[in-house]
Amino acid sequence: MNIHEYQAKEIFRRHGMPVPPGDIATTPDRAGELARTYGGSVVVKAQVHAGGRGKAGGVKLAKSADEARSHAEKILGMEIKGLTVEKVLVTPTEDIASEAYVGVIVDRSSKRPVFMVSREGGIDIEEVAATNPEAIRRLTVDPRYGLLPFQAYWLAASLYDDVKQQRAAAKIMGQLYEAFIASGASLAEINPLITTPSGEVKAIDAKMNIDDNELFRRKDVEALRDTSSEPPSEIKAREASLTYIKLDGSIGAVVNGAGLAMATMDLIKFYGGEPANFLDIGGSSNPEKVVNALDIITSDPNVTVILFNIFGGITRCDDVANGIVTATGQMEMKVPLVIRLTGTNEEEGVRILEEAGFSASTSMDDVVKRAVEQAQ
């Protein structure tokens, strides 16, 4: 789950990090009013779940409340990477002497939190990693001990020459690590971490991604969810207890089990196709899940064919078949279905489908090939 900058900053503040004040506006008037309370010189920042807002025109400096109002007027309603801006953060402008990058992520290969810091702040870390990888210092944290003080100093020493700034940055990194762990985050990033002309170190941008699997035990973090920033299909899937991730291809896949869903996507790619989604309808026998799954997949205009790949264990093939018949009876299907059913109650499932005018195969290889052909 992504959260907004203003929400991440609130978490940072709670962990003692030096973050400038700020508040949210949904109207230009409110942005102007806030700017007045901060003395007029403010930054107006689009709150959307996308990076690179600065480049897209979603971060604007204002010298007066009137200017803040007119910036907000432009930014509210603007689209950034397909997301409509509904809120802006209004925050006092900081004078910047330098911009650095500080981030911590869960690293899949070491299975541990990894810090990355760089003097090259303000730009995407991916860009720095690609063009100037020596400019990034990395440190793997042992989660049993957390970020130890000497490690934080070692990281901070690569960012600043001034001892006071090194100390300040080391402290911030310790707090960032605490915030990261306490929130169940998979990523926490300060870009840029600035120094001011008078030598202070501050976080003026904040980004956090929360691991969805941490949410059930963190209701306060779950409450930060902004559904207006999520694809409607993913919201619908979550409400229907389906695991669904939208992708960019044309083959919609309905599969039971995460492992089989991964294997299905691999096979689609192997035969030259592109999956439109990852969708796991889970292990239970419930025709309604199939109805919801089809509803979600057919709402994606990129989908040109739908592939069912069901391996019946606890899931019964006849239930899935009934789900397909019910769903296709309820909605107008504009794309062909390619179905593979095997396992528990397979004969019954195939019979139900054939009576309804569908054909079903028991071979995964066959149906994936067919789906790839039909998608083209």
Active site (catalytic) residues: 101, 189
Structure tokens at 288: 């309604």
Q: Which residue is nearest to Mn ion (CB)?
A: 205
Closer by beta carbon to ligand GDP, 88 or else 337: 88
Smallest gap, in angstroms, from Cβ of residue 273 to ligand GDP?
35
Q: How far is CA 268 from its chain centroid?
A: 24
Structure tokens at 316: 């019964």
275 binds, among ligand GDP, Mn ion, none (CB under 5 to 8 A by kind): none
Residues in contact with ligand GDP by CB under 6 A are 43, 45, 51-54, 59, 61, 93-94, 96, 99, 122, 191-192, 204-205
Smallest gap, in angstroms, from Cβ of residue 61 to ligand GDP?
6
In 243-345, where does DSSP find H-type helix?
Answer: 258-270, 287-298, 317-330
Closer by beta carbon to ligand GDP, 9 or else 370: 9
The site that binds Mn ion (CB under 5 A) totals a number of residues, namely: 2
Q: Which residues on adjacent β-strands are paired with residue 98?
A: 195
Build a one-symbol-per-residue string for 247-286: x at contacts with Mn ion by CB under 5 A, - elsewhere.
----------------------------------------
43 binds, among Mn ion, ligand GDP, none (CB under 5 to 8 A by kind): ligand GDP
Sole residue written with tokens 């941008």: 205
Closer by beta carbon to ligand GDP, 51 or else 231: 51
Structure tokens at 234: 């993913």
Residues 194-213 touching Mn ion, rule: CB under 5 A, are: 205
Please report, for the chain, how many H helices and E strands are present, in that order.
13, 18
Smallest gap, in angstroms, from Cβ of residue 190 to ligand GDP?
9
Closer by beta carbon to ligand GDP, 80 or else 368: 80
Smallest gap, in angstroms, from Cβ of residue 302 to Mn ion?
30
204 binds, among Mn ion, ligand GDP, none (CB under 5 to 8 A by kind): ligand GDP
How far apart (Å, rounded) are the C-alpha atoms in residues 25 and 88? 5
How far apart (Å, rounded) are the C-alpha atoms in residues 90 and 25? 7
Closer by beta carbon to Mn ion, 89 or else 338: 89
Cβ-contact 166, 159 below 8 angstroms: yes
Smallest gap, in angstroms, from Cβ of residue 20 to ligand GDP?
7
Structure tokens at 135: 């400019």
Closer by beta carbon to ligand GDP, 204 or else 317: 204
Q: Which residue is nearest to ligand GDP (CB)?
A: 54
**99 near Mn ion (CB under 5 A):** no
State the virtual CA torsion across 60, 61, 63, 64 in degrees, nearest 10.
40
53 binds, among ligand GDP, Mn ion, none (CB under 5 to 8 A by kind): ligand GDP
112-118 vs 83-84, strand pairing mode: unpaired
How far apart (Å, rounded) are the C-alpha atoms in residues 24 and 47? 9
**189 near Mn ion (CB under 5 A):** no
Smallest gap, in angstroms, from Cβ of residue 78 to Mn ion?
17
**List of E strands, the chain:** 23-25, 42-46, 59-62, 79-80, 83-84, 88-92, 98-107, 112-118, 136-140, 185-195, 201-203, 207-210, 243-246, 251-255, 277-280, 305-312, 337-343, 360-361
Binding test (CB under 5 A) with Mn ion, winner from 118, 191, 256, 374: 191
**91 near Mn ion (CB under 5 A):** no
How far apart (Å, rounded) are the C-alpha atoms in residues 111 and 89? 34
How far apart (Å, rounded) are the C-alpha atoms in residues 247 and 297? 11
Smallest gap, in angstroms, from Cβ of residue 337 to ligand GDP?
42
Quickly count: other Cβ atoms within 10 Å of residue 312's Cβ: 20
Closer by beta carbon to ligand GDP, 194 or else 341: 194
Q: Please give the residue ranges that form the binding site for Mn ion (CB under 5 A).
A: 191, 205
